[in-house]
Amino acid sequence: MTSSDQLDAAFSALAHPARRAILGRLAEREATVNELAEPFDMSLPAVSKHIRVLENAGLITRGRDAQFRPCRLDPGPLEAVATWTEQYRHIWEARFDQMESVLSEIKGETT
Amino acid sequence: MTSSDQLDAAFSALAHPARRAILGRLAEREATVNELAEPFDMSLPAVSKHIRVLENAGLITRGRDAQFRPCRLDPGPLEAVATWTEQYRHIWEARFDQMESVLSEIKGETT
C-alpha cells in the first residue's frame, strides 16, 4: 500500500462509531473478539466484520494464540492520520484567533 | 448531526486522495469548482461530486456569488478529527520510546 492508500484505509475505517469505540477499548488493553462484542448491541459476525475493516487498515493486529487471537491496537495509522491533519492546525487556530478578536471588539462596544 | 455523526462524515470524506488534494488547494486560497477541477484528470461532474461530499461533511462552504460560488475550506471538522486522534498520541509515542530503547540495547550489544 502507498501512504495515500494507507490514509484512505485508515480514514475509511475510522468513519464508523462502533469501530472508533473498539479502538477506544483496545487502547486500554488487548481483547478477544468475544470480549469486544460484549458491550455492543450487535451480532458477533457484525462485530467481526468491523474488526476485519480495522485489521485491513492496519489499526488492529491479531495475536497468534490459535484459539483466541486477541486483538491489539496498532497506533501507526493513527499517527499518520494525526500527521496529515496537523498540517491544517494553523488554519483552525487562525480562525479561533479571528473569532476571539471579533468577540473582544463586540465586548468593547457594549461596555 | 451529533458530534459522532460529524466525525463519521469527516472521516468518510477524508478517505479519498482527490478530496484530500482539494482541501490542500483550498488551504492556500478559495477557488471555484472549475479551478479545483483543472489539475485533476477527472470530469467536472466527478469533481463536483467530491466537492459535495466535502460540503456535506462541513469541510467546505460555498460563497454566495451566484455565478461562481467559490469553495472555502472550513477547518472545524479537521479540528474535531485532530482532537479525536490526539487521545491516542500517548500510545504511538510510547511505542516509539520502546522501539528506541530496543534499538539502543541492540547497539550496546554489538559495540
CA–CA separation, A13 and A23 (whole Å): 11
Which ranges of chain B does DSSP label H, i.e. alpha helix?
3-14, 17-28, 33-37, 44-56, 76-86, 89-110
Q: Tens digit of pLDDT for each residue in A67-106?
A: 788 999 999 999 999 999 999 999 999 988 888 888 888 8
Looking at beta carbons, which residues of chain B come within 8 Å of A6? none
pLDDT at A72: 95
Assigned C-alpha cell, B72: 472555502
Regarding predicted confidence, which is higher, B61 or B101? B61
CA–CA separation, A87 and B24 (whole Å): 9
Q: How confident is the model at residue A111 (pLDDT cuts 50, 70, 90)?
A: low
**Chain A residues 50-109 with a CB less than 8 Å from chain B:** 73, 75-76, 78-79, 81-82, 84-89, 91-92, 95
Longest dimension (CA), chain A: 70
Q: Are B76 and B43 contacting, i.e. CB atoms less than 8 angstroms apart?
A: no
Q: How many Cβ atoms sit within 10 Å of the Cβ of residue B72?
A: 13
ipTM: 0.88
Say yes or no to pLDDT of A65 above 80.
no
Q: Tens digit of pLDDT for each residue in A6-35?
A: 999 999 999 999 999 999 999 999 999 999
Q: How confident is the model at residue B111 (pLDDT cuts 50, 70, 90)?
A: low
Looking at beta carbons, which residues of chain B come within 8 Å of A82? 82, 85-86, 89
